[in-house]
Amino acid sequence: SIWINFSVPYLQHTPLYFLGYLIVNSIQMGANIDYAIVISSHYTDLKKVMRPKEAIVTALNESFPTIFTSGSILASAGILISVLTTNPVIAAIGTCLGRGTIVSIMLVLFVLPQILILGDTIIERTSFEMKGVAGMTHTASGTMHINGRVRGYINGVVDADIKGVLHGQFSANIATGTEFTVDKPDMYLSEENIHESSDAGEETAPDTPAADDAAKGGDAE
């Protein structure tokens, strides 16, 4: 899309300002990649439950409003800048930006889907997932059962695959798929607490006059 955009000034034999080339090149590349990511991500998710052709049609239907809205705003802004300004450098930037955005939208909506369909086999064979911590940060205290990758602070820095029980304060990034459960503090008692609770259960309530009267009344009945 960038090559097509900047081939127009060459074919028209019009000068192109180098500063405008750099600015439009960066903006158009960012916008074009964003539009492609929207369609590709929808297609990748839908392909798990649909056939490739059905998935790409549904992905286009879901992505069209986002791409058309964003692209039309960017193209309109570029064209308006080129028409309203009197500075030739800014006018050239606006013209190239508006034209380049339209070219990017056309290629993303009509060429990219064909590439995804035709290259589906190659994409499947060459795709891979990066290993790393990708999850949410959890903060907890008490007793925790962890089975998976953890990175953070547990009374010190930890970056390892952990499988076990941790006691204390916990603040770390939990990877996706990691089993993480926090038990209530009162579920794990120390030996002293266990002895204290058992002794408390063996103690009887102190004798009171009300208790004696109730006992006598029960015996009289």
Q: Which two tokens stand for residue 104?
A: 């990017």
Confidence of residue 128 (pLDDT cuts 50, 70, 90): confident
User: What does the domain layout of the chain look like in residue ranges?
Assistant: 2-126, 129-185
Q: What ranges in 14-119 are assigned the alpha helix state H?
A: 18-46, 52-84, 88-110, 112-118
At residue 84, the pLDDT reads 93
**Is residue 219 pLDDT above 60, yes or no?**
no
Residue-wise pLDDT for 8-49, tens only, equals 999 988 888 888 889 999 999 999 999 999 999 999 889 888
- CATH entry 3.40.50.300 includes domain 2-126: no
**Is residue 172 pLDDT above 70, yes or no?**
no
**Is residue 133 pLDDT above 70, yes or no?**
no
CA distance 18 to 175: 46
DSSP states of 134-169: -EEEEEEEEEEEEEEEEEEESSSEEEEEEEEEEEEE
**Is residue 135 pLDDT above 70, yes or no?**
no
At residue 19, the pLDDT reads 85
Confidence of residue 191 (pLDDT cuts 50, 70, 90): very low
